Structure 1
Amino acid sequence: MTPWEMAAVLAAGTGAGAVNAVVGSGTLITFPVLLATGLPPVTATVSNGLGLVPGSITAALGYREELRGQGRRVLLLGVAAVLGGLAGAVLLLTLPASAFERIVPVLVGLALVLVACQPWIAQRVRRRRASGGPVRRDGGPLLFTGLTLASVYGGYFSAAQGIIYVSLMGMLLDETLQRLNAVKNVLAAVVNTVAALLFLFFADFDWTAVVLIAAGSALGGLIGARTGRRLSPAVLRTLIVSVGTVALVHLVLH
């Protein structure tokens, strides 16, 4: 990488760490930047997954106040994250690169739709709660299954997995969105860590990209956890959709 490319990857990692802590979808910032440096899509995804682990951890630590009283829930849903994250990482390593290159544009497009529709999803969640829809403290088998499948997606390609987590938990748990966001950060950290452990031994990755994203995401996770809630969700959403659209166009044309 050139010095300018390294600076861009570091900045992207910082932005992704902050966005992941607050909303999710930070991969839509780092992934196109890694592609622009010349990394193949699978190598970029693996390097990105490894690099975002520190950011996931710092974001989870930053939300520790909101995690109080949710230990049992985190442990239960963490099992779903481990199972799904492991399955997704295995799929990434076993499917041919050509399959990944065909699937990723679809996944990026899906992630962009989820980001763009996040206000509508949140509104539906609020209406469900206001109407007295059924909720359980642990969400029941439906939430466990849903989060397992979402974690399969997260282990394979992590863009917007946080939004999926929050929307699922918001529909099935009677909690504030801030406390759900705290659980989301823990689940993302679990998925990223499980996938990273597998990638370290069985995948090709770029150490320069990993180190730069790791440094940036660790800082970004702290920034996002401490100050991200003061930023306009509309601004973050616009940034994510804009960068993700560029990535989608790049993937389709190449």
Structure 2
Amino acid sequence: MTGLGDIALLVGAGLLAGVVGTAGGITSLISYPALLAVGLPALSANVANIVALVACWPGSALASQPELVGHGLWLRRWVPLSALGGAAGSLLLLSTPPGTFARVVPFLVAAGSVALLAQPRLAARRHRRGHPSGAGGVILPLGLTAMSVYNGYFGAGSGVMILALLLITAEPHLATANALKNMVLGAGTLISAAALTVFGPVDWTAVAPLGLGMFVGSTLGPRIARRLPATLLRWLVVLIGIGLAIQLWINPNG
């Protein structure tokens, strides 16, 4: 961090990341490179990014009230699981380098992106077979646990992966699934950030401007997701997800 220019860059990057992340799910595609650009080393940038992401949770909750109505029971069931996964991921981050599984992550992000395209067909097949929406069996808890751990550990692409999981197992409507994704992702991020704040070094001079931008952006993202045609939003998320997968494959350490 060298001055007002870096602060302005982080606020702007946070704003855009908050919009993109809460409207579909690739926040770190924008925020993580911005932290590297202002001079933070990879581990410090990863920690600062996770802590700043907490700001997206209240903003997206405020903006997603229409989609969250009637889902209180679902959230009470799955948010604690996501929070525990985030805590486990943060402990892994503090004990192992974030590049340990770097070569696997691009494939996970790409798979999540492709799953978004396949979801309408999968949902139609489930409906024809008489499986109601939300009958995710063991796939939802296992998938959500694994992705929440990953979110607390590194996080890049976790939004699109969780969105794809929820669309396939819990909620076929894109805007509603996106709102639920923001809530479970936010819970995991909050616990992970709390652990990192207690046990790891946090660059608050970077977190503060980035988090401010993310909060503002997160109040806009769900509103954009609500208004965009579902097919257009789906393709935008998929294309950004594929772009992130390629970026992570070429440069896995950021």
Distance 1:206 1:17, change over 3 A: same
Alignment partners' CA distance in 2, 1:240 and 1:140: 26
Distance 1:248 1:213, change over 3 A: farther
Whichever residue aligns with residue 158 of structure 2, its letter is: Q
Question: Which residue matches 1:134?
Answer: 131
Deviation at 1:242, TM superposition (A): 4.5
Counterpart of 1:167 (choices 147, 164, 168) is: 164
Deviation at 1:240, TM superposition (A): 5.7
TM-score norm. by structure 1 comes to 0.85
Deviation at 1:32, TM superposition (A): 1.5
Alignment partners' CA distance in 1, 2:221 and 2:82: 22
Q: Does the 8 Å contact 1:31/1:247 carry over to 2?
A: no
Distance 1:21 1:14, change over 3 A: same
Whichever residue aligns with residue 198 of structure 2, its letter is: F
- CA RMSD in angstroms comes to 2.5
Q: Does the 8 Å contact 2:116/2:164 carry over to 1?
A: no
Alignment partners' CA distance in 2, 1:237 and 1:7: 29
Counterpart of 2:122 (choices 122, 125, 132) is: 125
TM-score norm. by structure 2 comes to 0.85
Deviation at 1:25, TM superposition (A): 1.4
Deviation at 1:153, TM superposition (A): 0.9
Q: Does the 8 Å contact 2:80/2:187 carry over to 1?
A: no
Distance 1:116 1:71, change over 3 A: closer
Question: Which residue matches 1:70?
Answer: 71
Whichever residue aligns with residue 28 of structure 2, its letter is: T
Deviation at 1:136, TM superposition (A): 6.0
Distance 1:44 1:134, change over 3 A: same
Question: Which residue matches 1:12?
Answer: 13
Q: Does the 8 Å contact 2:25/2:160 carry over to 1?
A: yes
- How many residues are paired up? 249
Counterpart of 2:219 (choices 218, 222, 227) is: 222
SS of match in other structure, 1:80? helix
2:155 matched to 1:158? yes
Question: Which residue matches 2:102?
Answer: 104
Whichever residue aligns with residue 31 of structure 1, its letter is: Y
Q: Judge which range, 179-188 or 123-132, deviates more.
A: 123-132
Which ranges of structure 2 fall in alignment gaps of 5 or more residues? Answer: none
Q: Percent of pairs identical after alignment? A: 31
Question: Which residue matches 2:197?
Answer: 200
